[in-house]
Structure 1
Amino acid sequence: MNAQRKPGFYLALLSTLFAVSVVVLGAFTRLVDAGLGCPDWPTCYGHIWAPQTELEIAMANEAYPEIPVDLNKTWPEMVHRYLASTLGLLIIGLVVIAVRNRHREGQPVKLPIFLLAFVCLQGAFGAWTVTLKLWPQVVTAHLLGGFTTFALLAVLTFRLSGLRFPALSAKRVRRVLKPLAAWTLVAVIVQVFLGGWTTSNYAALACPDFPKCQTQWWPDLNFQDAFDFAHPIGPNYLGGQLEIPARTAIHLTHRIGAVVVTVLTLALAFVLVQQRQRGWALLLTGLLAAQVALGISNVVLGLPLIVAVLHNLGGALLLLSVALLNVILNRKEVAYV
């Protein structure tokens, strides 16, 4: 494996690491119920940070009586906003570098431009998360957008790194590895969506036991309300609006999705070992094992904050790994034997 780095590599690497902090703090903000720590956007109770003096807090409480000031919740919300804004500035820098070097062979240009457009859309979803009072559809889309931004920045970093990988068996890759990797990626994306839908509907503790749910293998479930994506706009969704059977259906579906992802990821790792790609196999199985352990711990330990945040991060890293493997398998530069 050799490398010939292209312009923008170090900025892309910094942006990827920065995106990790945005994903982690976003998870922290949701889990401490600080999504409405500031009920307006882009300011916080009309301030660039948060109201501080007694007079400012009194005026803020008068303006937003339904969401009184809680300084323990305003700071994670505002730090998250400023980190996300800084990430946008870094991506603008990547676009400038890409355009300036567009005539260099192999220099990615479309991906940085797409990333800039996507992060602008992500900013809009961040605003709608607040203004639509944690509407589950928007919260879930915002989470998916954060994971996607992180994955795309990592892919850009890989492309700018100039890394090359050992030769693979063309026949085996075409018939088995590429389709399996693609289906695994689809399963992980669906599972990330289910995780987002679980957290945005406050269903993480709908099943407080494991492996059963409410001491049963198949408790009372309401799938119709659980996956009704036409929730009305207007109510404050902090704490959730669904009844227990609907939340239980969401939680149990997320568990079933975890089983599907586990089977596909292990199958993918097995094929990678056959292809003498033990590093990739170990990476995927390690991330999978950590995710499963964290998911179970969330249930049996009652959703401790650090475990829940790490579970979000683990999902992002598993998505990134499978996505990057798919990119590698579909790149023209991959050598075959």
Structure 2
Amino acid sequence: MNTYRKLLLATLAMTFALIVLGAYVRLSDAGLGCPDWPGCYGHATVTQASDHISAAQEADPHGPVTFAKAWKEMIHRYFAGIVGLCIVGIAALAWRNRRDPAASPWLATALIGVVGLQAMFGKWTVTMLLKPAIVTGHLIGGLTVLALLVCLYARTLAPSRITVSPALRLFAMSAFVVLAAQITLGGWVSTNYAALACSDLPTCRGAWVPEMDIANGFHVIRELGVGADGETLTIEALTAIHWMHRVGAVIATLVLVSLAFGLRRAGHAALSTALLVILVLQVLLGLANVWFSLPLPLAAAHNGGAAALVIVMVLINYRLRATAQQRYSGVFHESHAA
């Protein structure tokens, strides 16, 4: 099981890095650096596709295809392939050690299916020309893979002995739902390039509630940069996307801070501190992206902050649930022993 645990931890770290790398690729406009999938113009490397890339650059010097963008896109794909192979290895080890309570072969197998679906979202991101719904789905898929890896790793940790109330467990699950909704809003901001629709703080375009076009901003099935009517997405639509993410950030921050204090009162000081530290950093990164007009390193780090919050929230929910199961199991055995 030691090999299984080490592979899980390494894959978890690589998946976190892959999510940040994916954000970097998207934010540097390299998502179509290779306009096909899984290779680049049908080749395994950018070097082999150099003639095609050169021709594309000559035909459209300001287009999405350049050597630099192609390399960014292909490195992301290579890295994703490595993570996928590691997850297959995790499933194989889980089945080999299936008699160990720390292993979860069925969950590890399900994770392979999630990775397969995530690969298809990666393909559709390119073939459907960065449709916001597909790109956002790709982000959510990556975070789902990360969350499942955390669940598998958490099973290998020693259980907590601290008793928690049902109310705290329910609140932790609700807080995770709030976080997931906020991350989805953040993905919608990023995939619609609406991060700078409001360049002032704390107001948005000089008003607490600016003029917005919510219908077009949140029309899901559409091409990138256009509304439901096929016309170019207006600044009011982009403002709606950005403003809703800000409102969500306030709500999510209040909920997660409340959870952190609840965890501290229940005796989970380490989890409480981790949640508060990551949350503060994430909020500061969000503010800094507006203050400094979305510098690429800060924007990618903001995606990393979201992934870090997912990790700690999955750990929190798992630990609270495992503690409850352990307590109920103890009560059950005591009653039968009596």
The alignment's TM-score, normalised by the length of structure 1, stands at 0.90
Cα contact 1:22–1:84 (8 A) shared by 2:
yes
- State how far apart, in whole Å, the 2-side matches of 1:88 and 1:204 are: 31
- State how far apart, in whole Å, the 1-side matches of 2:49 and 2:271 are: 54
Determine which of 268, 287, 291 is the counterpart of 2:278: 287
Cα contact 1:136–1:201 (8 A) shared by 2:
yes
Cα contact 1:51–1:57 (8 A) shared by 2:
no
Deviations 1:188-209 (A, max 9, x none): 0001100100001010000001
Deviations 1:82-107 (A, max 9, x none): 11011110011111111222233442
Determine which of 86, 97, 108 is the counterpart of 1:90: 86
Aligned to 2:336: none
Aligned to 2:95: 99
- State how far apart, in whole Å, the 2-side matches of 1:232 and 1:309 are: 24
Aligned to 1:168: 163
Alignment-mate amino acid for residue 240 of structure 2:
A
Tell me the CA shift for residue 334 of structure 1.
4.1
Tell me the CA shift for residue 49 of structure 1.
1.6
| Higher RCO by CA contacts (8 Å cutoff, separation 6 or greater) | 1
Deviations 1:36-94 (A, max 9, x none): 11111111123212156874544455899994631121111100001101111001111
Alignment-mate amino acid for residue 259 of structure 1:
V
- State how far apart, in whole Å, the 2-side matches of 1:72 and 1:316 are: 26
Matched, 1:250 2:241: yes
Aligned to 1:218: 209
Alignment-mate amino acid for residue 192 of structure 1:
I
Aligned to 1:262: 253
Gaps of 5+ in 2: 332-338
Deviations 1:11-32 (A, max 9, x none): 1111101101211110100110
Aligned to 2:178: 187
Alignment-mate amino acid for residue 27 of structure 2:
L
Aligned to 1:80: 76
Tell me the CA shift for residue 218 of structure 1.
1.3
Deviations 1:254-294 (A, max 9, x none): 00101111111111111112112211111111111111100
Q: Name the count of aligned residue pairs.
A: 324
Q: Report the CA distance shift for 1:56/1:203 in structure 2 as closer, same or farther (over 3 A).
A: closer
Alignment-mate amino acid for residue 237 of structure 2:
A
Identify which range, 8-17 or 129-138, moves more after superposition.
Answer: 8-17
Alignment-mate amino acid for residue 276 of structure 2:
T
Matched, 1:48 2:44: yes
Cα contact 1:288–1:318 (8 A) shared by 2:
yes
Determine which of 320, 323, 337 is the counterpart of 1:329: 320
Identity of aligned residues (%): 41
Aligned to 2:335: none
Q: Report the CA distance shift for 1:57/1:318 in structure 2 as closer, same or farther (over 3 A).
A: closer
Identify which range, 141-150 or 327-336, moves more after superposition.
Answer: 327-336
- State how far apart, in whole Å, the 2-side matches of 1:126 and 1:57 are: 20
- State how far apart, in whole Å, the 2-side matches of 1:319 and 1:241 are: 34
Tell me the CA shift for residue 215 of structure 1.
1.3
Cα contact 2:192–2:225 (8 A) shared by 1:
no
1:64-75 matches, cutoff 5 A = 67=63, 69-75=65-71
Gaps of 5+ in 1: none
Q: Report the CA distance shift for 1:7/1:105 in structure 2 as closer, same or farther (over 3 A).
A: farther
Matched, 1:129 2:106: no
Aligned to 2:137: 141
Q: Report the CA distance shift for 1:280/1:54 in structure 2 as closer, same or farther (over 3 A).
A: closer
Cα contact 1:167–1:334 (8 A) shared by 2:
no
The alignment's TM-score, normalised by the length of structure 2, stands at 0.89
- State how far apart, in whole Å, the 2-side matches of 1:234 and 1:268 are: 37
Determine which of 191, 201, 206 is the counterpart of 2:197: 206
